[in-house]
Amino acid sequence: MDADRNTAFEVPPGLIHHYLETSDGRKLHVAEFGSGPILIFIHGWPEFWKSWLPLVNVLGPHYRCLMPCLYGFGLSDKPEALRDNVDALFHAQDIALIADKLCDQPVTLIGHDIGGYVLQALGGRHDALGMNIKGLIFFNCPTSSVGTKWVEGRHVNEIWYQSFHLTELAQNLVGYNRDTTAIYIRHFLNHWSVKKDCFAPVFEEWVDNFIAQGALRGGFSWYNSNNEKRLNTLNGKLPPPDQKITLPSAVLWGRHDPILKSDWAEFLDDHFEIITYEFAEDSGHFVHVEETEACANFIEKTIAKWQR
């Protein structure tokens, strides 16, 4: 991470919090900072809105940055039981609601991990969802075309947690106490990063977030909701989509991401009409935290190119 690691996650003065209600009565939290063209940042797991602070602290003076917590995460409402319907389209509909309520101009969407799947759902349905989107920017971008590569070679050893999260044992064991939650969350933040201490300044805040009532269940519901599609992908049963995403799209992929392999960029052309991609050579999974300045430059460069 290029910014000072002790200050990168500071909450900037002037940041505000919105709480929006969905048609079915769920509360969604959105943090906002800055002014200018609108960027909506969509996080992954194990993350919440604060994961974007290093990047927003760089971009905020020039952009209006909206950082929602997906349903089940952070300061948004949590499910009372493990759910099976909070898939990418579910979250995409929530993002469309946020844009409708808070945005008065076209938006650029930026996603990571789960956020990458949500962006693809939005990209394929933005007209139906009533969203005015300039383009899509991904920090790593898995697609259904990855198929059996999820389980080829030693990579099968990386995906154990996706099945573990489906079990009641996961909630009971990981959530047994603060220490067990900390051990579990630390594993992923460190194992998936090249820069092992990139979350160190805020690690206790991450633990606070995931020991909150329903927070583990909320994140695990994503994996439960996508399990059938995941298994079909692993078995090579999901063909490329009938129609490619036509919105301008760009990917900055962490070269050393151990869970979403950078080699999988070869499948992007199957899903996007207009796609460019680059690699962050010193980053793992959490590109936006590990190489913040590179990500900020990539965003600004990409948006400028789209405006030509």
Tell me the catalytic residues: 113, 223, 285
Amino acid at 127: D
| 3-class DSSP assignment, residue 40 | strand
Length of the chain equals 308
> Percent helix, strand, coil in the chain (nearest 5)?
45, 15, 40
Q: Distance between CA 140 and CA 116 in Å, rounded?
A: 7
Q: Distance between CA 94 and CA 218 in Å, rounded?
A: 15
Q: What is the CA radius of gyration of the chain?
A: 18
167-185 exposure pattern, b = at least 16 Cβ within 10 A, e = fewer:
eeebeeebbeeeeebbebb
Alpha carbon 9 to chain centroid, angstroms: 17
Reading the block at residue 278, the tokens are 């680059």
How would you class 40 by CB atoms within 10 Å of its CB: exposed for 0-12, middle for 13-18, buried for 19 or more?
buried
| 3-class DSSP assignment, residue 18 | strand
Q: What are the Cα distances from residue 296, in Å, to 12, 223, 302?
A: 17, 29, 10
Q: Distance between CA 134 and CA 83 in Å, rounded?
A: 32
Reading the block at residue 176, the tokens are 């047994």
Residue 115's nearest CA partner among 251, 257, 262, 11 is 251
